[in-house]
Structure 1
Amino acid sequence: MESIAIREKRLNRLITVVSIVVPIVVALLFGVKIPNVERLGFLPPIYAAINGLTALLLCGAVWAIRRGKRKWHQNLVNACVGLSLLFLLMYIAYHMTSESTPFGGEGLVKYVYYFILVSHIVLSIVIIPLVLKTYTFAYLGKFKVHRKWATITFPIWLYVAITGVVVYLMISPYYPV
């Protein structure tokens, strides 16, 4: 039987690889356009809804663990991870079939939009290793460390989920019909 230290070391290597590879692959695929494929314009409201649902489930996960409902907490966090993966797949599919939509607002709202968008993108990259590390500590039964990491991971993940909805709502009037 492998020791916890060895399993943690292997998982840390995997987390490092995933945390580097995912943003690079997404960035590369963002520039790839599949020719002669219908634009998947129906996806943005769906993946915005997924972000909103993720935010609600994250709050539910915190509520559950504070009430000692560990299994509920675990199931809700697993659902959030699954929803985040589903979001990522839809986001890539949309951008591989559609040109980016420029924001059409002007004045202060334009700067607010770009601030929210840039912080959302940067933190969506940062959240990958944070979620994976936090999840790993729970998986390994290191709950004290898991709690410490979760106090950092939760607000950032919640911010990414909520700002995903906000970005969609701000840009949706400018999507091509």
Structure 2
Amino acid sequence: MLEPSLPKNDKQARWLIGIFSVVVFTAVVVLGRVKLDIGVNFDVHVFAKINAFINASIAVLLVAALVAVKQKSYAVHKRLMMLALLLSVAFLVSYIAHHLLAGEAKFGDADHDGLVSEAEKIAVGSMRMVYYVILITHIFLAAIILPFILFTAYRGLTGEYVQHKKIAKITWPLWFYVAVTGPVVYWMISPYYS
């Protein structure tokens, strides 16, 4: 096992993780409802492509980190997980930038008029329901996963490996689901970007 990287201070950790999680959640919700009407000289959906790439990269890192820990390569596991955390911060910045500049796209809006007509709904058929099931589960889990990720990291960084492993059994599959469904959501909605 590795030596702890952080001193244990559960009270301070709870406060910091709680505040950070609430601030991030609030920023995403509030800024997700705002669209800046500014002219930019590039395709603003490049941020959505970046988001999909980052999410896919995080999914790969999570699998590699799981393999590393199973092989008792704890230093490699730690580096991979820290990289996944850093990529998550980059994702957050790119996600907010995309929503500020692009606004919302509607699944099935083939003519890009901001409305999904009955004919457009019929054209996409049951894929519309599949998309919304994936999207809703992705958004819900993305909204609640951050404090779990941070507490899992905290337990590992303070050397509390029994607790780290216990919470990681919950955090890892949820984070992996969010990371995998992010690119799936992008792939499904990208034809409807205007």
Give me the TM-score of the superposition, normalised by structure 1: 0.93
Q: Which runs of 4+ in 1 moved over 3 A?
A: none
Q: Could you tell me which residue of structure 1 aligns to residue 160 of structure 2?
A: 142
Of 119-128 and 12-21, the range deviating more from structure 2? 12-21
In the superposition, the TM-score normalised over structure 2's length comes to 0.85
Larger radius of gyration: 2
The alpha carbon displacement at 1:53 in A equals 0.7
**Is the partner of 1:102 in helix, strand or coil?**
coil
Matches within 5 A, 1:150-165: 150-165=168-183
- Please give the alpha-carbon distance, in whole angstroms, between the structure 2 residues aligned to 1:37 and 1:83: 28
How many angstroms does 1:34 deviate by?
A: 2.3
Letter in 2 for 1:127: I
Greater share of helix: 1
Q: Report the Cα distance in structure 2 between the residues aligned to 1:138 and 1:78, rounded to whole angstroms.
A: 11
Correspondence 1:36 to 2:38? yes
- Superposed, which structure 2 residues align to 1:47-62 within 5 Å? 47-62=51-66
Number of aligned residues: 173
8 Å Cα contact 1:8/1:140 also seen in 2: no
2:28 equivalent in structure 1 = 26
Q: Please give the residue correspondences for 1:2-151 in structure 2 after superposition, counting only pairs within 5 Å.
A: 4=8, 7-38=9-40, 40-104=44-108, 106-151=124-169
Structure 2: segments with no counterpart, 5+ residues = 1-6, 109-120
The RMSD of aligned alpha carbons is 1.5
Q: Percent identity?
A: 38
CA contact (8 A) 1:57 1:80 kept: yes
Cα distance between partner residues in 2 of 1:37 and 1:67: 51
Checking the alignment, whether the CA contact within 8 Å between 1:40 and 1:98 is kept in structure 2 is: yes
